A and B are shown apart, each in its own frame.
Chain A
Amino acid sequence: MTINWQLLMPELIIILTFILVAIFDLFNSIQKTVAAWLTIVGCAIALYVSIDMLQVGMEGTEFSNMIQVDKYSLFFNVIFLVSTILVVLISMNYLGRTDRRQGEYYLLILLATLGMMLMASGNELIVVFLGLELMSLSLYVLAGYFQRSMASSEAGMKYLLLGAFASGFFLYGIALIYGGAGTTSIPKIASAITVNATSPLLLSGMFLLVVGFGFKVALVPFHQWAPDVYEGAPTSIAAFISAGPKAAGFAAFLRIFLEALQNIQSEWIVVVTILAALTMTVGNLVAIAQRNIKRMLAYSSIAHAGYVLVGLAAANKDGISSAMFYLLIYCIMNIGAFGAVILARTEDGESLMISDYAGLGFKKPLLALFMTLMLLSLAGFPPTAGFVGKFYIFRSAVESGQIWLVIIGAINTAISAFYYLRVVVAMYMREPEEELDFHPYPSLLIVALTLAAIGVVLIGILPSYFLSPAQISTFL
């Protein structure tokens, strides 16, 4: 058996980086920041290779059709690697304060990234499931990484229990689809469904998959874990969980539903549409009531999953490409927003209450500037990236006739502006209630935030430069 290793270059580079970090971590004499730098360098090389493969248009299946490397999976690799690099950058100063050894932290981040890449390129439900498990297992541990903090341990435990439950749904769905279609290979399922029309096994399997994915990407009836986990987990990990894994969940969600189950589209489209409307509305409405900024960002990320789901509900080529484009933007701006939260540290730890941000606009102008930019982008104000992302998502939905969904989405965008702007208003127009002593800016965090800010503005001004790769990368 000969294997075309070139196709698997990004994955191999991540594994190699993993091994190197594990070896360097053994020596106590080497500074612990080496692990972080190795991770960044490895991810950057993998990112470069992915972009290169995307431009060359390298495609193919490998390991007896187990994985399918195509432009779609490579585009998602770019999303995952960009978010991993940003997360490692914002983690370095954040972890630097605690005296824990950090090697394992970066090892788990690398394994989670590898899991995401497998989810995006999986051509077989088994591989998608294994990628999902690899990613989730690493994230459970990362969420509980601060074992001394009750909140972090609780977040890890909660995430583990609910995540395992969701994995059960997902696996049961795969089993039923196997029973209905006689295969777990995504393209073969697609052809098997045409022959056999709709078996009840397939339908129930499909609904179980919706539940499984719903948990993983935090859609509304299945979102309860997200705010608690984001609040309790280390802030850098909250940024990580909210970005890459959500994109990976959607990568598999889109591929399975629009490729394998496209012939029973009429059955799932209603469910997906209702979930999208519910997710946007509930996410945004509950976010208004939040006083803790991490919880607010958690509900905002739930609402954003709803916007992406509109792309799936559109169920056309534009829907996929705009969902991919939106996920790229979302990852950058959400990690940026969490990074700004890390930046606002005081001596007692993080200042997480929105009221703590009062008056920051003049006391900490740079922090306030980053925070404002990220929040405006999340709210979808032009000329930021968030605006163009929402624009293309809604346009694809209009094209496929989902007018009601677009109206609900537009109303939700207006609602979301309220709570995002409330933080901005607090920063620039309110007097602080008590004098908080903020830490000086850590340099690497500023680098990460500057990168995110450049990304948000650049995509906002030159959207076509980033949208066209997404448009040529769809699998339909």
Chain B
Amino acid sequence: MSDTQQLRASATVTVRAKGYDVWAVWVDVNAWKAWDDGIADIRLHGNFVEGNGFTLTPQGGEPVEVTLKTVTQGEEFSDETVIEPFGVLHGYHRIEQVGEDLVQVTHELVAEIRSHHLGVFLKEIWPDMQAGLGSAVNAIADIVSSD
């Protein structure tokens, strides 16, 4: 049996908007807390490019360091966060054009959690993370929607 367990959650919203508007909201990392209620504080270090990172303080939590793993302008980015003692979180964010002026925005979270911490993680942390995905994509949709 593996000593880590993988958890996966995602949220997708389809919205009448321009993909580049979604991208513009993403790259302004320092402003995420203006639309994501789960973030108490956030600070991008340098620019929104692969290898750089940001410090994110969740509401009621300790600051964590997040590293940008991939950045494809206008399309997607992914990040990685080590959360001790539980394991590693991988975040995936994608924009897909599904029609004229219609885009799908997806935030996906993959957690690789050490098995012996899984119980605590599932009980105390994962539910908020799952819920946060949905509220984040809805908040983005609310900002960028042209309806």
Tell me if chain B binds chain A: no
